[in-house]
């Protein structure tokens, strides 16, 4: 069988290790495993959402409302947009896939920062597109504009805050990049962690409303991170109606489940849960900053629900991740991103304490 040539270029996405793997490989009890690898909300999801999912379990036999009217309505009130400006995906990942399929032809190029969300590359390569990266992991305006002028990419990905580094790009800088780009290029502003950035520093807060006037810009958001619904797979894209109309052509019917739809709708009604989650997070992330100083490790100032620790030459991120894993703590090794660094999702106080005590022993 001969597979599509574009597949040769693709490395399979390495997802955060599941709890089940640690149970199987190291015989550790599932309840003792601490998973700080996939940027899930340590508070779980809103109890109101969990109840709505349980109460509606019997409706699993029904296809969802394919218009997703209620969820779009909830999102349009939240962001002061119109339903026609919104597309829902099975995670914002699926919206990224729609974008790639709607725009890219073989040999087109896409532009992104040196270290950023791995799926941009994978979806682009599926279409045979070429990947262009700026020299820095941070989103530097001049670097983006220079690469844009040189390569004329079809899509520019601005991940702010950025995964897996945790830094963010100010609204001012994002708008400078958008201003330098002509309409033929789509700018994707991926705000998967925007709730955390907005709570930390208003200069980094970007709302769909800031971008909707641009014909070639789309904002992506998700319920997977601050809303604690990674397992339900609900995300969204917000842009002008012409762009949304084109992306709709890529959408399979019923692309999120009946229960995911209910979860998204209920989640929008409980913003207090998000506020509380972020308050807990802000307390705990301070402890990670202090802990890093205590053990002499550098970190990147984080605008997300995780922190990235950068190791010097005496320490190896793979070795450290393996040692933690053997003791039942899963974190994300960034060696595959070319960094001697680890990404740690901020957990509950107890989870973080466990990680600190092991790390204190293994980091020398
Ligand atoms: C988690 C994440 C997403 C999307 O997650 P979904 O679960 O598919 O909504 C998108 N972009 C970034 C940068 C992420 O970290």
pLDDT on residue 163 = 98
- In 3D space, the residue among 104, 101, 100, 120 whose CA is nearest the CA of residue 112 turns out to be 120
Residues in the chain: 364
Termini Cα distance of the chain: 51
How far, in Å, is the centroid of ligand 1 from the Cα of 159?
Answer: 10
pLDDT on residue 25 = 87
pLDDT on residue 13 = 84
Q: Crossing angle, helix 349-362 and helix 271-295, to 10 degrees? A: 20
Name every residue whose Cβ is closer than 8 Å to that of residue 9 and which is 6 or more positions away in sequence: 125
How far, in Å, is the centroid of ligand 1 from the Cα of 218?
Answer: 15
Cβ burial 259-285 (10 Å sphere, 16+ → b, else e): bbbbbbbbbbebeebbeebbebbeebb
The answer to whether the CB of 228 is under 6 A from ligand 1 is no
Counting atoms of ligand 1 from 1, which one is nearest the CA of 162? 13
How far, in Å, is the centroid of ligand 1 from the Cα of 240?
Answer: 21
| Number of other CB atoms surrounding residue 64 within 10 Å | 19
- In 3D space, the residue among 97, 70, 139, 99 whose CA is nearest the CA of residue 239 turns out to be 99
The answer to whether the CB of 224 is under 6 A from ligand 1 is yes
How far, in Å, is the centroid of ligand 1 from the Cα of 364?
Answer: 33
Please tell me the distance from the alpha carbon of residue 121 to that of residue 100, in angstroms, as a whole number.
Answer: 10
Question: Distance between alpha carbon 188 and the CA centroid of its chain, in Å?
Answer: 13
Q: Residue 345 forms beta bridges with which residues?
A: 306
Please tell me the distance from the alpha carbon of residue 46 to that of residue 272, in angstroms, as a whole number.
Answer: 9
How far, in Å, is the centroid of ligand 1 from the Cα of 1?
Answer: 33
How far, in Å, is the centroid of ligand 1 from the Cα of 246?
Answer: 22
Peptide bond into 164 cis (omega under 30): yes
How far, in Å, is the centroid of ligand 1 from the Cα of 163?
Answer: 9
DSSP string, 78-100: HHT--GGGEEEESHHHHHHHHHH
Q: Answer whether 303's CB lies under 8 Å from 196's CB.
A: yes
DSSP state of 70: H
Please tell me the distance from the alpha carbon of residue 227 to that of residue 266, in angstroms, as a whole number.
Answer: 10
Name every residue whose Cβ is closer than 8 Å to that of residue 253 and which is 6 or more positions away in sequence: 66
The answer to whether the CB of 92 is under 6 A from ligand 1 is yes
pLDDT on residue 46 = 98
pLDDT on residue 66 = 96
Copy the structure tokens of residue 9. Answer: 């270029």
Counting atoms of ligand 1 from 1, which one is nearest the CA of 230? 7
Copy the structure tokens of residue 42. Answer: 């340590």
DSSP string, 181-220: S-TTSEEEEE-TTHHHHHHH-GGG---HHHHTT-TTEEEE
pLDDT on residue 361 = 92
The answer to whether the CB of 232 is under 6 A from ligand 1 is no
Name residues of the chain where pLDDT drops below 50.
none
Copy the structure tokens of residue 295. Answer: 């053990």
Q: Answer whether 127's CB lies under 8 Å from 171's CB.
A: no
The answer to whether the CB of 99 is under 6 A from ligand 1 is no
Predicted TM-score (pTM) of the model is 0.96
Nearest CA to ligand 1 atom 8: 91
Cβ burial 44-55 (10 Å sphere, 16+ → b, else e): ebbeebeebbee
Please tell me the distance from the alpha carbon of residue 333 to that of residue 336, in angstroms, as a whole number.
Answer: 8
Q: Answer whether 134's CB lies under 8 Å from 113's CB.
A: yes
Counting atoms of ligand 1 from 1, which one is nearest the CA of 234? 9
The answer to whether the CB of 161 is under 6 A from ligand 1 is no
pLDDT on residue 16 = 76
């Amino acid at each position: 069988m001969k597979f599509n040539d574009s597949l040769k270029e693709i490395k399979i996405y390495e997802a955060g290790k599941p709890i089940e793997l640690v149970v199987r490989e190291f015989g550790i009890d599932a309840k003792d495993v601490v998973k700080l690898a996939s940027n899930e909300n340590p508070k779980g999801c809103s109890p109101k959402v969990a109840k709505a999912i349980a109460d509606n379990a019997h409706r699993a036999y029904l296809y969802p409302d394919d218009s997703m009217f209620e969820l779009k309505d909830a999102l349009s009130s939240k962001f002061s947009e119109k339903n026609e400006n919104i597309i829902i995906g099975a995670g914002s990942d699926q919206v990224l896939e729609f974008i790639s399929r709607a725009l890219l032809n073989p040999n087109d190029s896409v532009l992104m920062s040196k270290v950023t969300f791995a799926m941009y590359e994978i979806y682009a390569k599926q279409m045979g597109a070429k990947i262009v990266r700026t020299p820095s992991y941070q989103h530097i305006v001049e670097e983006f504009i220079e690469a844009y002028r040189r390569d004329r990419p079809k899509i520019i990905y601005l991940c702010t805050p950025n995964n897996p580094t945790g830094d963010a790009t100010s609204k001012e800088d994002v708008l400078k990049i958008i201003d330098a780009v002509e309409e033929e290029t789509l700018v994707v502003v991926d705000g998967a962690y925007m709730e955390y950035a907005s709570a930390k520093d208003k200069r980094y807060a970007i709302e769909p409303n800031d971008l909707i006037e641009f014909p070639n810009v789309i904002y992506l958001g998700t319920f997977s991170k601050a809303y604690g619904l990674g397992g339900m797979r609900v995300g969204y894209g917000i842009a002008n109606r012409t762009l949304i109309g084109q992306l709709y052509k890529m959408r399979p019917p019923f692309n999120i489940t009946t229960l995911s739809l209910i979860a998204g709708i209920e989640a929008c009604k409980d913003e207090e849960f998000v506020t509380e989650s972020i308050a807990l997070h802000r307390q705990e992330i301070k402890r990670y900053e202090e802990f890093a100083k205590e053990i002499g490790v550098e970190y990147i100032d984080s605008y997300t629900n995780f922190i990235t620790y950068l190791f010097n030459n005496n320490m190896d991120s793979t070795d450290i991740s393996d040692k933690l894993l053997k003791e039942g703590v899963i974190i994300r090794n960034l060696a595959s991103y070319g960094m001697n660094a680890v990404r740690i999702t901020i957990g509950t106080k107890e989870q973080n304490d466990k990680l600190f005590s092991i790390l204190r022993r293994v980091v020398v």
